[in-house]
A and B are shown apart, each in its own frame.
Chain A
Amino acid sequence: MRFLATILLALVAVAPAMAQRSIGNGQVSGSFESTSIGYLDDKKLGAAPEDHFGSNNYLKVDYANGRFSAGLQANAFLPVLQGYDDLADGKKFYLASKYIQWSDKNFEVLVGDIFDQYGNGLIYRSFEDRNLGFNNSVEGVRAAYNFGRFVQLKGMYGRPRLYTEYADSWVRGADLVVSLADICGIQEKVMLSVEGSYVNRFQKLTLGDDRDKLIFEAAGLDKPNLDMYSGRLNFGWNGLSLRGEYVHKGKDLNLDATDGLAKTGSAIYAEAGYSYGGFSVVATYRQLSNMATRASLYDEGVANAINYLPALTRQYTYMLANLNPYQVYAMGEMGGQADVCYSLRSKESRYRYWNFHANFSTFYNSFSKNLMWRDINFDVERQWGKKFKTIFLFSRQEWGKSLGFQDLYGSNIFVGDVTYKFDRKKSLRVELQYLLADRHEGKYDYEGDWVAVLAEFSLAPHWSFFVQDMYNIDKTKTHYYSGGFSYTYSRTRVQLSYGRNRAGYICSGGVCRYSPAYTGVNLVLTSSF
């Protein structure tokens, strides 16, 4: 804690001096993020971890001078927070990424750790998500060339990161975008492009022990190369947009395969949207078959992936609506979502309007055709004037048997959210939430009913205080309470909170990390410069 306090003091000391001044052409920028938790014993949850402390810290620094740029990121886990994969052995300080880059008008080359995505990421996406302990950047070379506005071509080659180390595999790929609208000279009115990608993963099948070889042989996996292809079409005209992608994946071994056999994979993604005035609607459909693609066949873990398969469902900001998020079933799922927005604005005052929003998502198991997830929800936001705003949300969520529940589990979630602004700086926001679980023959589903309340008082632009409690009424009768405050000065923000946290999945996109329950003190510090 002394370490963090010193950093905090250092940041506060230098923050006022951060007005930018120009000397020469070069510039340094960066960011620092630190999350530390002191774990406490809790009779309701059990004993805290032995060392009672975890701290994840990230320092990123970039230098840019004209067309040249370079940077690095150092991570320090002192030790790692509970629930993060592959770092159970404790403390670790390492170089998480580094790069040097040259960018010309139409040409770009990067040597170092690559963060990129082809299309929707179905065959390749390398990115970082610190909440999940996820960084699958590819260490290697990336080059891109633009033939004017008409054609963009990029390629990369390298080895993917696997947590604090690198996978024993090599990934190479290329992505091509051809703008037909620009070629035909109709780009002012129409957006039309055809795109394609290719990704290859190479990993020797003889790296492991005899057991690994037997698994590969039995699965029918006899080639070290995995090839994936993607074709895409994008169209936009006068408020209408259409996007589609088809993916073919070569034979690969999937950890979730019940028969243990290597199989080819495929994916279809289709999206249609239309907007007019304050109305807009978008519908997406996606079908996945054997699409989970590991960076290394010899390892496991949520970060062991080279592609990106997010759950196409609404992501909530309310506690109870987010209690049990849907997780992608990459072995075989099909479904999609529809999202509709409408805004009705007063002609007399910009401070008075209605925002209506409805969303529907559903996914089925491709093999059994059973329902895995369904969510029908809507919310109505009303800005009554400069001082007062209300939001009401309703969500009907259903989980199918194939997601680990014994039976279909359903719940209705009601949320009321009220904000009152006392004056230019002071405001109060209150949330009231209720989760009503379905009943069957007198028995409640899963954990039964929940109730939650949150109150947040803010003093703009620096201070914010909050208290919240989430209580399970039926099964566990447990309170998950917390309270804290945050202070922001320019680009530096400090948040200190104390409370009991429920075990559950923290999800971002298609990746979910299981976070164990804990009671503790949480200090979060972020700053950029």
Chain B
Amino acid sequence: MKKLLSLLCLLMGATTLFAQQLPDVKVEDIEGKMVSVRDLVKGKPMIISYWSIACKPCIQELNAINDALEDWRKEADFTVVAVSTDDARLKAPAKNMATSRGWEFTCLFDDKQVLRRAMNVTQTPQAFVVDAEGNIIHSHTGYTPGSEEELFDKILSLKKKK
């Protein structure tokens, strides 16, 4: 146990020395085509939110972001990517939901857990804020109504840095 704890502390400390970039992996989009995650970085900040059909707070978070999106975009130009972690069981209903909800997001479907493992997402919802160069500058696990504002605050902080 002591070894595990020491290793953990060492690694957690070590991470402060390194930048974290989006992984270079390909995931399926809503049309079934494979897209590179790094190709989604197009000179704008980005919110990446992981969700699944069976994760109620995930869907709450995406709905809340979509509701506020029009107001937010008056203050900052950014994109939103919703990554479904649903596997073969629920991938079809997940696409169905993403299509009907009117989410103004880029929707990705990570049924093989490729992106999820690469970004070390152990629990959903988990949201990331990525800068215009593809660096992950913030992450938040879990969702409570109102916590979407924290993501937007980070987007605004990027705008101020410019």
Which one of A39-47, A253-261, A440-448, A457-465 contacts B? A457-465
A 1-45 binary contact with B (CB < 8 Å = 1; else 0): 001001100110010011111110011111111000000000000
- A19 and B101: CB pair below 8 A? no
Picked from A26, A27, A273, A528, the residue with its CB within 8 Å of the CB of B95 is A273
Using known A-B contacts A28-B14, A509-B89, determine if residue A22 contacts B144 with beta carbons closer than 8 Å: no
Closest to B136 in A: A20
Using known A-B contacts A30-B120, A284-B92, A350-B66, determine if residue A278 contacts B100 with beta carbons closer than 8 Å: yes
- B144 and A30: CB pair below 8 A? no
Using known A-B contacts A21-B17, A280-B99, A284-B92, determine if residue A236 contacts B32 with beta carbons closer than 8 Å: yes
Distance between A128 CB and nearest chain B CB, rounded to angstroms: 8
Give Cα A201 to B126, complex, Å: 37
A 494-520 binary contact with B (CB < 8 Å = 1; else 0): 000000000000000110000000000
Number of interface residues of A (CB under 8 A): 108
- B93 and A22: CB pair below 8 A? no
Number of interface residues of B (CB under 8 A): 73
Using known A-B contacts A64-B23, A279-B100, A350-B70, determine if residue A20 contacts B135 with beta carbons closer than 8 Å: yes
Q: Does A407 contact B (CB under 8 A)?
A: no
- B1 and A3: CB pair below 8 A? yes
Distance between B162 CB and nearest chain A CB, rounded to angstroms: 18
Picked from B4, B11, B21, B100, the residue with its CB within 8 Å of the CB of A57 is B4
- B101 and A341: CB pair below 8 A? yes
- B32 and A241: CB pair below 8 A? yes
Which of B7, B90, B99, B119 has most A Cβ within 10 Å?
B99
Question: Which residues in B have some Cβ–Cβ distance to A below 8 Å?
Answer: 1, 4-5, 7-9, 11-21, 23-24, 31-34, 53-56, 60, 63, 66-70, 87-90, 92-93, 95-97, 99-102, 111-114, 117-123, 126, 135-142, 144-147, 149-150
Question: Which residues in A have some Cβ–Cβ distance to B below 8 Å?
Answer: 3, 6-7, 10-11, 14, 17-23, 26-33, 57-62, 64, 74, 76, 78, 93, 103, 115-117, 120-121, 125, 127-128, 130, 152, 187, 191, 193, 234, 236, 241, 271, 273, 275, 278-282, 284, 308, 310-312, 314-317, 337, 339-343, 345, 350-351, 353, 355, 357, 359, 383, 386, 419, 421, 423-427, 429, 458-464, 486, 488, 490-493, 509-510, 526-529
8 nearest CB pairs, A to B: A460-B146, A22-B19, A310-B89, A461-B147, A458-B144, A341-B100, A427-B145, A31-B120
What are 10 pairs between A and B in contact, CB < 8 Å? A10-B8, A11-B12, A20-B18, A20-B135, A22-B135, A282-B92, A350-B66, A351-B67, A427-B146, A488-B142
